[in-house]
Amino acid sequence: MLSLVRGGPKVLMLETTRSGEDLAELEAFLAALCPSSSADPMGAVETASEEATLVIFMASGEEPAMRVYSTHLPPEDLLCQLINRRLCEKVDNLCPSPGTAVMRLVGTPEGLNLAMERIASDLNGTVGERPHNFVCPAGSRTVIYFTQNPLNRPLRMEDLSPRAVLVDRPCGEVLSHLRENAMDYLSLAMGGPDWNQVDIRIYDAEGRYDLHYRRLMGAIEGIDAGLVLSEAWGRDQAFILMSVPVYVVRLFTPLDPSEIKRMCMGLEYSPKGERWVDLDVICSGKKVSWTGLEHPGTRDSLGEAMRRELLGRMNQGGLKRLLEAEGELMGG
């Protein structure tokens, strides 16, 4: 499932000038509520989940120190605990960092800039240099970061665009807006409506859907065929009164549907030239037929030719993924 928007961890900045027993009491309080800590603020942010709360604890008195504490407790629960334990007088300054949203945009540099400008305009924000620390310009309640990388894995600072959108709105409101309009912004970044949405239906009489799915994902990655929007099980009417299970992968692609059909025909055939899976391509409710592809031979000879063509076009990462799955298929 394609993820285009996610939030970042909540961040509290807590500063004290106390030392001795007062400092030790604050540190013990945070250590008891926060199961993990680190001396690296940026590293903590990079590995934190969307649900996490990070406390940047800074001691600036006689015993200077800085540590980052991480917890899944929401900030308001931490503040309630701080008040109820009568620890507020030991804290000199406590403030939240701006909320963070991360959006995945892919496209041309011109398209990416257009999408950022549109987002800033829609949210009455500004496009500026990405903040490199936890301090943002006045009036920035939310920072929108951008990346071309998948959002289902940790992101490093170098994975983010050098530009960001700064918005004076609550983070929850910004996230809702981005999620509602994500496909419009993605289309703008990609350069317009020339992309196609196609469904690829996987059917294997032997039930080896997971391995053929991995082959398909390797091919999509290998020729940069687009973005997977969704995946789901479905049923296909193979014969009258008989339906079969299919796994449906919805792809958003800059390629012509006939190019996706060529890719899928190549995947239908094994290295030995045997047909071992059916991959139907559906665009605008209609099946893309192999007979529309230019080739003088039979369906089998076309499939074998498409396989050779596909493997020759793939990058190393996608090819490795495909061949590993095929090795398991051949071995099983």
pLDDT in tens, 134-158: 655 555 689 999 998 878 778 888 8
Coil vs helix vs strand at 314? coil
From the CA atom positions of the chain, what is the Rg in Å?
Answer: 26
In the numeric block, which tokens belong to residue 250? 């919805």
pLDDT at position 15, please? 93
Out of 59-68, 80-89, 250-259, 296-305, the most confident range is 80-89
Write out pLDDT tens, residues 79-132.
Answer: 999 999 999 999 999 988 889 999 999 888 899 999 999 999 999 999 999 886
pLDDT at position 140, please? 66
Rounded-to-integer distance, Cα 70 and Cα 50, Å: 12
Which DSSP category does 161 fall into?
A: -
Decide: 269 and 298 in contact? Cβ < 8 Å: no
pLDDT at position 253, please? 86
103 has which bridge partners?
5, 146
pLDDT at position 2, please? 63
pLDDT at position 255, please? 86
Domain ranges in the chain are 8-96, 99-190, 196-331
Write out pLDDT tens, residues 214-265.
Answer: 999 999 988 888 888 889 998 876 655 567 889 999 998 888 899 999 999 9
Rounded-to-integer distance, Cα 33 and Cα 158, Å: 31
pTM of model > 0.85: no
pLDDT at position 291, please? 80
Does an H or E element contain 15, and which? strand 10-16
Of 3.30.70, 3.40.710, 1.10.238, 3.40.1350, which CATH number belongs to 196-331? Answer: 3.30.70
* Residue environment code for 202-230, b if the CB has 16+ CB neighbours within 10 A, otherwise e: bbbeeebbebbbbbbbbbbbbbebbbbbe
Residue holding tokens 């334990």?
85
Decide: 178 and 208 in contact? Cβ < 8 Å: no
In the numeric block, which tokens belong to residue 188? 């703008």
Long-range contacts of the stretch 81-85 (C-beta < 8 A, 24+)? 81/29, 81/33, 82/29, 85/29
| Summary mean pLDDT of the chain | 88
pLDDT at position 181, please? 92
